[in-house]
Amino acid sequence: MTLVLMLTIFVLAIFIGFEIITKVPPTLHTPLMSGSNAISGITLVGAVISAGQHATALATIFGFIAVVMATINVVGGYLVTHRMLGMFRKKD
């Protein structure tokens, strides 16, 4: 994929981000933070590739560390967000 294409995606995604996130009410700012934090754990995809391809021993070791860190970020982030949002449910 060419660099230009990637830059296009990057810029457009930032604009989408600005558009939707400005609509998030202050009440949900903490869950927004922890939820978007979990999304930034998407590095897990890169970590899986680095660790899994076994290009060099070093790459595998680095990949392993990255997989552990990114998984903590992803799993922890989504769980904690889910816990918080559960409390925002309207009480009947």
Partner 1 sequence: MTPYASTVTLAAGDLPAWAMIAYLVAAVLFILGIKGLTHPRTAVRGNLMSAVGMLIAVAVTLPSVMGGLGWGVVIAGMVVGGAIGTIAATRVQMTAMPQMVAIFNGFGGGASIFVAWAELSSFKKVIAKAHEIFNEQGQLDIATTYTLDQIATIKQNAIDAGVLTFNNGLAEIGTIPLPVLIATALAGLIGSVTFSGSFIAFGKLQEFKVFWNPWVLPAHQLLNALLFVVAVGCTVLVIAYPDAAFWWYLPLVIVALVMGVTLTCPIGGADMPVVIALLNSYSGLAAAATGFVINNTVLIIAGSLVGASGIILTVIMCKAMNRSLVNVIFGKIDASKSTSSDDIYEGRIKATSADEIAMMLDGVQRVVIVPGYGMAVAQAQHPVRDPFNELEARAGNGGFAVHPVAGRMPGHMNVLLAEVDIPYEKLIESDNINPHLDTVDMAIVLGANDVVNPDARKPDSAIAGMPIVDVDKCRTVVVIKRSLSPGFAGIPNPLFALDNALMFFGDGRKTIEDLVTAVKEN
Write out the binding residues for partner 1, residues 44-63 only, by CB under 8 A.
44-56, 58-60, 62-63
CA 31, CA 26: separation in Å to the nearest integer?
10
- DSSP assignment, residue 42? T
In the bound complex, what is the minimum distance in angstroms from residue 6's beta carbon to partner 1? Answer: 6
Neighbours of 77 (CB within 10 A): 19
Between the alpha carbon of residue 78 and those of residues 26, 38, 56, 59, 91, the distances in Å are 19, 6, 32, 28, 23
- What x/- string results for residues 1 through 20 when contact with partner 1 is judged by CB under 8 A? x-x--x--xxx-xxxxxx-x
Site membership for partner 1, residue 92 (CB under 8 A): no
In the bound complex, what is the minimum distance in angstroms from residue 25's beta carbon to partner 1? Answer: 7
In the bound complex, what is the minimum distance in angstroms from residue 4's beta carbon to partner 1? Answer: 10
